[in-house]
Structure 1
Amino acid sequence: MKVLFNEGWCKGCGLCIAFCPQEIIHLAEHLNRKGYRPAQVVDQDKCTSCAACARMCPDTVITVYRPDRKQTAVS
């Protein structure tokens, strides 16, 4: 897994969707416990770990793992 969203905190603002250069983030069909449709990655294999989504997220719900670095996460 390259990208992890904390669905419980996501408000579905869509900024991560707008800034993902691979266009692999979409809003889920289900609602989280707060009543929002959280963002989710639909194809982890296409993720380049650029972290554009994490940098744009106002609620810091996204963690991007970079497989080329040991135990390094960008949030």
Structure 2
Amino acid sequence: MAKKTLKEHRINRDWCKGCGICVALCPKHVLELDQSDKAVALRLEDCICCKLCEIRCPDLAIEVIMEEGERDD
């Protein structure tokens, strides 16, 4: 199985309420809460595109976008 390649982490800061679920669930510690208690992706090079942050965000504020042609089977 080919390694998934991250294109972009989109975080809608208007929707993020800073609950920290994404931070707690990220297996690679890519996400943190900033001084405004909003999620930010600081270590994008470590992202494995598992999409746990996107799937579990109660506010639908996170979208993990992979390179064209890659799917999350």
TM-score normalised by structure 1 residue count? 0.76
Name the CA shift for 1:68/1:50 in 2 (closer, same or farther; >3 Å). farther
Percent of matched pairs sharing the same residue: 32
Which is bigger in relative contact order (C-alpha 8 A, separation at least 6)? Answer: 2
In structure 2, the partner of 1:56 is 56
AA matched with 2:21: L
Q: 1:45 — aligned with what?
A: 45
TM-score w.r.t. length of structure 2: 0.78
* Alpha-carbon distance, 1:8 to partner: 1.0
CA distance in 1, matches of 2:8, 2:69: 12
TM-aligned CA deviation for residue 69 of structure 1:
2.7
In 2, Cα distance between equivalents of 1:5 and 1:49: 14
Contact (CA 8 Å) 1:2, 1:47: kept in 2 or not? Answer: no
Q: CA RMSD in A?
A: 1.7
CA contact (8 A) 2:28 2:47 kept: yes
Unaligned runs of 5+ in 1: 32-36
Tell me which stretches of 4 or more aligned residues in structure 1 moved more than 6 Å: none
Deviation at 1:49, TM superposition (A): 1.2
